[in-house]
Structure 1
């Protein structure tokens, strides 16, 4: 398709990419004033991701050529997470940021006919990312180089049209940023409610004076592991599997969300079944703070078994379903899991026996229901905002595909 005014060109006619500096880990300091950018600071689709307390900071000697300026554009040259390779960001205006290794600083050549905001969008296109990934090196972790990125052939519209396209799509970015700010507030409010309602620091008037019980998990329920593996045997009946990620990514698990089919012996199917109210935990992870993440089965699930990668906790008492989903998310419970996890730095595991020793505080059933209802409403609001953001991102991607390929033209 001929596009009036658009030209096929190589990126090395317009930009160069400069490697970052290998800052010494001995000067990494959580209280340091300088911020060391890492691949973790990139969203997979592009853009700056704040890391909060996990952000690497630096307090040591800095080569002046590796101090970044507000608005500088960087590209991720290693795939720390799937889809990250080739992602770009612009350096924020607040704070002093350092140009770290594995990140490329994109600089325009004199007389370049490319707009960096347009390039940011262009490098976010799935077709471009696939090309970068296909030409990458590495076995376990993919990585690319400045020459491989600048060697890409791209189709560029005239500079005024590039700017107009970037302006149009920036309105979508602002809408997404606004929605993300609302989501962050909703998450903060939900967390504050959890930490006050689930610890008894905040009580509903009708329950004032009623005492809570502190219970040990092993005394009020049964902890089971040794779930079903992911193998298939034509001689065994088929079952659907409740996996690690089904627990890790959710608070409530629904039957319709599970579609991983395996097989298991009939005795194993009976032993590892899933019933409404069962609480599942992640017993292991690469980090201590991700062990014992909970999720609750929202319904009976005939034909579903839990995986050997998760632990099932089946209560012997009648606790409110919503309360079950949130009571194991308190700071106190997380601290217990952190302390009881065993590991060497590569993998951390919490044993069945340690699960049984963990403690939670529990009010009466009526108060559980009231607490559960409030927290479920807060959780539903978070989910509503997450879905809204996902819809905005999907619509933006569809528009990008049209504008960045010339299928839809803009008036300048």
Structure 2
């Protein structure tokens, strides 16, 4: 049901849907090289200009394919979340073209506001429409220009559109500010790790009130403990054939094991398998890139529950906690210097593998336990600051999404200045 005072109009009646330039055309006469936008540049709610490629086009075609301020960019397809997504072009590059997989929708500004239209297309209302008529395959979807043109646009009075767009813009600014704070905090933490984990920056010893002193001890990883295997004799195909569900560690996204991300597999009742414990370190043994091989995660939780390890990883159990503290290990093993030492051990072509024997030979530099503890506490505090910002960002995005659903469908109306409306 259309809200009072609103209309529902097919996009083609209130905007021009423009297709982009195709790559690979031969026999061009006196071509010029011009920047152009690809699907990768058109993100959901922003245009990513980090990497802008160029394309050749004939001079007399430049005006036809050039973007103009206020064009609403919409993607033809890709992953489901990319379908129809886009943003308003603000003339960041002049001239700039768009690929044929990116549509440029040029609204009649007397009827529909560009920012309102972009928000509507990105909302649940827009995404539901695009998915309903999309051509789908495994994890991919696409729409054509006809379906874009038939998009049933909800059209409030223009002043109301602008007011809605203004409100959503305020949320966008808050989200963008938080994203920048997260990026800055992550860069600061990275720089701090580089300084602290190499001894270039020494923290203050709370016992003496002075900076820690003394050389760090050089040890081989293998001298600190021993390895153990994951779910031995099992592959992914075996998971689910047993009789008892057990939690197991599978993904190492974080330097510490995420207890909320444990998966479940089945093993036979009474089956003798290695379980993990506090202080254990886990390494991936295989990856598509050498940079990801040997990525580690540390068990920082004390638990009475039996937890197992994926067979595609292996565990490392320190002999004791008197040389390498778990809280320090989680950062040391993901530090730039150690990661570089591990990645050069990767062997393979299309897929890279890691030898446990070689990994155990890598050298680590360890400060005293007191300094390890201090470094770990500083980096943990940095992590918590980032986590708080990420939680704030998730909350802002959820709040904006809920607000969009209400404002863009007329379930919640905004007050418009009567002078503006007139």
> What's the TM-score once normalised by structure 1's chain length?
0.83
Query: Are the structure 2 counterparts of residues 214 and 266 from structure 1 closer, same or farther at C-alpha, using a change threshold of 3 Å?
Result: farther
Q: Output one character per residue of 1:330-358: Cα deviation in whole Å (capped at 9) or x when no partner.
A: 2223323443333434x444343443343
CA contact (8 A) 1:237 1:265 kept: yes
The residue correspondences of 1:267-346 to structure 2 (distance < 5 A) are 270-271=273-274, 273-301=275-303, 302-318=305-321, 319-345=324-350
Q: Contact 1:225 / 1:352 at 8 angstroms: preserved in 2? A: no
Partner of 1:240: helix, strand, or coil?
A: strand
Deviation at 1:293, TM superposition (A): 3.1
Residue matched to 1:130: 128
Greater Rg by CA? 2
Provide structure 1 residue ranges, at least 5 long, that are not aligned to the other structure: 25-32
Please give the per-residue CA displacement for 1:214-268, whole angstroms capped at 9, x wherever unaligned: 3333332334455365555575321013222xx22x232243x145322113576
Question: 5+ residue gaps in structure 2?
Answer: 25-32, 205-209, 417-422
Q: Deviations over 1:38-76 (max 9, x none)?
A: 433344x4323465xxx3545x74553555456543222
**Counterpart check, 1:240 vs 2:240:** no
Q: How many residues align?
A: 391
Residue matched to 2:221? 217
Matched, 1:119 2:125: no
Alignment deviations for residues 151-190 of structure 1 (CA, whole Å, 9 cap, x no partner): 2223221222111111111111111111122212211111
Q: Distance in 2 between the 1:176 and 1:251 partners?
A: 26
Residue 342 and residue 120 in structure 1: after superposition, are their counterparts in 2 closer, same or farther (change >3 A)?
A: farther
SS of match in other structure, 2:246: strand
Q: Deviations over 1:269-308 (max 9, x none)?
A: 632x221222233444444433333322221342322223
2:20 match = 20
Shift in CA distance, 406/269, structure 1 to aligned 2, threshold 3 Å: farther
Asked if the contact 1:223–1:312 (Cα under 8 Å) also holds between the matched residues in 2, the reply is yes
Change (3 A) 1:275 1:226: closer
Structure 1 pair 341/69, CA: closer, same or farther in 2 (3 Å)?
farther
Q: Which residue of 2 aligns with 1:360?
A: 364
| 2:148 alignment counterpart | 149
| SS of residue in 2 equivalent to 1:252 | coil
Would the aligned equivalents of 1:114 and 1:159 in 2 still touch at CA under 8 Å? Answer: yes
Q: Distance in 2 between matches of 1:357 and 1:21?
A: 54
Deviation at 1:95, TM superposition (A): 5.0
Q: Counterparts in 2 of 1:9-408, with a 5 A limit?
A: 9-22=9-22, 37-43=37-43, 45-49=44-48, 51=50, 55=51, 57-58=53-54, 61=56, 64=62, 66=65, 68=67, 72-80=71-79, 83-91=81-89, 94-95=92-93, 98-108=97-107, 110=108, 113-137=111-135, 139-140=137-138, 141-205=140-204, 206=210, 208-227=212-231, 229=235, 231-233=238-240, 235-244=242-251, 247-248=252-253, 250-255=254-259, 257-258=260-261, 260-265=263-268, 270-271=273-274, 273-301=275-303, 302-318=305-321, 319-345=324-350, 347-408=351-412
Cα displacement (A) at 1:376: 0.5
- Mark the CA change 1:280 to 1:56 in structure 2 (over 3 Å): closer, same or farther: farther
Is the CA contact 1:294–1:328 (under 8 Å) kept in the aligned structure 2?
yes
Tell me the SS of whatever aligns to 2:141.
coil
Contact 1:254 1:299 in 2 (8 A): no
> Greater shift after overlay, 121-130 or 135-144?
135-144
Q: Residues 183 and 310 from structure 1, CA distance in 2 versus in 1: closer, same or farther, beyond 3 angstroms?
A: same
Q: Tell me if structure 2 keeps the 8 A contact 1:224–1:352.
A: no
Check whether the contact 2:124–2:405 (CA below 8 A) recurs between aligned residues: no
Distance 1:194 1:86, change over 3 A: same
Aligned to 1:29: none
**142-151 or 4-13, which moves further after superposition?**
142-151
Question: Any conservation in 1 of the 2:249–2:307 contact (CA below 8 Å)?
Answer: yes
What's the TM-score, normalizing by structure 2?
Answer: 0.81
